A = this chain, B = another copy of it.
Amino acid sequence: MNSQLRERVRDFLADHDPRAMERVDFLRARYDAGLAWVHFPVGHGGLGLEQALQPDVDRLFREAGAPDNRPGVNPIGLGMAAPTILAFGSDAQKDRFLRPLWTGEEVWCQLFSEPGAGSDLANVATRAVRDGDEWVVNGQKVWTSGAHNARFAILLARTDSSLPKHFGMTYFLCDMTDPGVDVRPLRQITGEAEFNEVFLTDVRIPDGQRLGDVGEGWKVANATLNNERISIGKSADRESGMLGVVASTWRERPDLRTPDLHDRLLRLWVDAEVARLTGTRLRQKLAQGQPGPEGSTMKLGFARIAQQLSGLEVELLGEKGLHYSDWTMVRPGHVDFNGRDAGYRYLRAKGNSIEGGTSEILRNIVAERVLGLPGEHRVDKNIPWKESAK
């Protein structure tokens, strides 16, 4: 690590005692000092340095006992909204939104998916009609995690249905406290409601909260999604995650072991370990500035391994695998994929190959962008959206 940067952190901590300050004041000061995300520009929480330096900065703050910005509470904001606002926002938008986003004062959610626009995200039907200096938005969004806690949303809406689907969309920053926004919990197969449906009825968005040009929504949304897809997870220890849970059960319950389950567990141990090494290698490539869409394969493997491991665990537990913790409809504050019981893990893991891009879509992406195989025949590519089959 850059010794100048280290010194800057040390100086900041000397001037700001985390134990003596209000949490939010400390975070705001850290943002203003450019130590929030060092790869962001000066004036917007950063210093224009390499992203690879950030983990060390975070470590220094952690070691000093400083509060963090609770990244788990605002993943959409930090991971998707912030880089998109940075790339496409006006100075006014960056000034208004980035600081409270980073400090966690304003949590964000994502209003992209719709019942008719899942894998085919460019098929969004939610309309935004211009009315003077505002846009009037009507439609239904789905699979919105954290909508009930969010202050703002990134929103994709159709502004011109006479154009082919990819060209008639615009990207907005939507205030979730608008009276036209109705958030309803969406119950899942696990019994709980981690996600929401969001109904938008005459929601009025100032034109100043449009991100990018009118009709440029697809381009902006893709920038957002690329931030999602290249996220290849953190460096992980051996046997972390789902494997650790199952391996513990295996070690603690010799009575449950059978040769069949043993070989399956060992295969999955190998798969998970190799996936871990593959992730390490990809991160090393990224650090050397060789990122690429091959990161998509990580999510494919993660989903498959999590599903097979959790399925195996239910079988391994046998009689106990027939139990379930609780079917009560709750809205979990925090989703722990490895939490609760084996049945929960089994059911929840089914979502791993659907959310954030289905495994089918990811395989298309790998085949076309990495291997260069021909794309699918696109019947709806060049016809007005309103005339295409829905």
Contact = CB atoms under 8 A, between A and B. Distances in A.
A263 interface: yes
Interface in A236-265: 259-260, 262-263
Contacts of A262: 259
Contacts of A263: 259-260, 263
A377 interface: yes
A259 B259 CA distance: 6
What is the predominant secondary structure among interface residues of chain A facing chain B?
A: helix
A139 B182 CA distance: 70
A262 B262 CA distance: 12
A262 B261 CA distance: 12
Number of copies: 2
A270 to B, nearest CB: 12
Interface in A19-65: none
A389 to B, nearest CB: 12
A4 B260 CA distance: 56
Nearest to A266: B260
Q: Which of A262, A263, A377 has the most CB of B within 10 A?
A: A263
A262 B260 CA distance: 9
A375 to B, nearest CB: 12
A259 B263 CA distance: 8
Nearest to A379: B377
A263 B259 CA distance: 8
Contact of A377 (B259, B260, B377): B377
A262 B377 CA distance: 45
A259 B260 CA distance: 7
A262 B264 CA distance: 12
A87 to B, nearest CB: 36
Nearest to A377: B377
Nearest 6 CB-CB pairings of A with B: A259-B259, A377-B377, A260-B263, A263-B263, A259-B263, A259-B262
6 contacts: A259-B259, A259-B262, A259-B263, A260-B263, A263-B263, A377-B377
